[in-house]
Amino acid sequence: MKVDSYNKLNSHYKKIYPDYLNKITRILNNYHKKQYNTDYWEPIVGLYLRRFIAKYLFQKKTKKKKLDKIASYKNVNLNKNYNDFADGDETFFYKFKSLNSSDYFRIDKINFFLRAMNTLRTIVPNILIKLGVTKIFFQESYFKKYLRNFFSLRSFFNLISLPKLNCENYKIDKKKIFQNRLDLIDRYEINNKKDFFLRNMIISMPINYIENYSIIFNEVKKINVSDAIYVDGNEVKFDFIKFYIAELILRKKKILIGQHALRTGLEDFNVYFDYSKSISNFYLTWGWKNNDKKNIKFYSTRIFSSLKKYKKVNLIKKDKSNICFVLCGFLNMEENICDNFIENHRAEKARIHLLEHINKVKDIKITLKPRQGSFIIEKKK
């Protein structure tokens, strides 16, 4: 795809996103009997909407084969959470023969033991919040358990890890959920025009935001409200964190989001960065600068999570070197602007070219480990 054409699609995604966020907000408020504004719903559904819009626009433009299917409960892709949706290789867009109204379907029960475990995990953090000892929760994606505890101790429990909740212990009843989605569409279209795009947005939306919403909502309510939360990627993987962020935004608390990797933070170029910037009060970056007052220079502590790996190394032989080089995992084409995608491709080629030269040096052995998203892996598919 040409650069101009690609960037026009990226611009179109940003233009239509607010309109669909408003539409989804009205639909979800009506379904869940809430009166929340887009500031509340964006942390919960915003990342999904951005990814869905980007996928639709770019797949329609770049895929030669037909991606439309006739919708039925047997062939729709239903995902519990955003992470499952994002891991899907391809999104299909459905056509509908008819819409039939039915009663609302909700997942209204959670396993007793899971509910009890969730409650137990919140007891100590809630006491610390109530006593005013803890001010900030954090969910650091690279910290191991011992390092999280060490970090909390060093801060005298001013910062502690957000309790991890399990809210997804349910089976997917595709028939009931599919019928429920058709009913949502039907009710919306009584007073609004038919919208092929919106129909598919509702059909493919993770179950956690519709049928399982009340379960997560009630479990997250068990956690006391802190003054702030710091996250740097786990909010993508765990939907309950999105719900907690939404609760903090309602209470006018602070959201701090840290730069997750070197591929984000440079410019406003991908759906995750758009989402992070939109829902946060401050974006903590490793040093990228622009005119946005939200961006705060922030020293990375990620290296500490790797120190344990090297404790067993007592001696490094000078005459031989074994090096494992880990390539970056880059974003998909539909997730960042074309200029950046091309630059990522060039960067990976340059690194591999350098490693080929190093590998020719006597007594040096290079092992290459591509991460998911590497161009090398894509070529082998």
pLDDT at position 196 over 70 = yes
Q: Could you report the per-residue pLDDT of 148-173, keeping only the tens digit for each?
A: 788 888 888 999 999 999 999 899 99
Residue type, position 187, single letter: R
Q: How far is CA 20 from the centre of its chain?
A: 18
Could you tell me the pLDDT band of residue 217, with boundaries at 50, 70 and 90?
Answer: very high
Q: What is the mean pLDDT of the chain?
A: 80
Phi and psi based region of residue 331 (left: phi greater than 0; alpha: psi -120 to 50; beta: remaining): beta
pLDDT at position 49 over 60 = yes
Picking from 181-190, 239-248, 359-368, which range would have the lowest pLDDT averaged per residue? 359-368
pLDDT at position 355 over 90 = no
CA distance 220 to 28: 18
pLDDT at position 316 over 50 = no
* pLDDT at residue 4, rounded to an integer: 62
Average pLDDT value for residue range 115-126: 95
pLDDT at position 41 over 50 = yes
Count of H helices and E strands in the chain?
13, 10
- Alpha helices, DSSP H, located in 233-362: 234-237, 239-250, 271-279, 338-359
* pLDDT at residue 347, rounded to an integer: 67
In the numeric block, which tokens belong to residue 34?
């809430």
* pLDDT at residue 265, rounded to an integer: 46
pLDDT at position 356 over 70 = yes
| Residue written as token pair 């989605």 | 181
pLDDT at position 381 over 70 = no
Average pLDDT value for residue range 301-322: 50
Q: 354 or 123: whose pLDDT is higher? A: 123
In the numeric block, which tokens belong to residue 5?
């054409």
pLDDT at position 333 over 80 = no
Percent of the chain with pLDDT over 90: 38
Picking from 105-109, 276-280, 343-347, 373-377, which range would have the lowest pLDDT averaged per residue? 373-377
pLDDT at position 133 over 90 = yes
* pLDDT at residue 298, rounded to an integer: 67
Parallel, antiparallel or unpaired: strands 364-369 and 321-326: parallel
* pLDDT at residue 163, rounded to an integer: 94
In the numeric block, which tokens belong to residue 363?
């007594």
Could you tell me the pLDDT band of residue 358, with boundaries at 50, 70 and 90?
Answer: confident
Q: Choose the most confident range, by mean pLDDT, from 47-56, 294-303, 314-323, 347-356.
A: 47-56
Q: Choose the most confident range, by mean pLDDT, from 207-211, 258-262, 289-293.
A: 207-211
* pLDDT at residue 232, rounded to an integer: 85
Q: Could you report the per-residue pLDDT of 57-96, keeping only the tens digit for each?
A: 877 766 655 567 787 888 888 999 998 888 765 667 888 8
Q: Is the CB of residue 203 less than 8 Å from the CB of residue 184?
A: no
* pLDDT at residue 307, rounded to an integer: 47
Write out the H or E segment, with its range, that includes residue 136: strand 136-139
Could you tell me the pLDDT band of residue 353, with boundaries at 50, 70 and 90?
Answer: confident
Burial of 114 (0-12, 13-18, 19+ CB in 10 A): middle
Q: 86 or 214: whose pLDDT is higher? A: 214
Burial of 280 (0-12, 13-18, 19+ CB in 10 A): buried
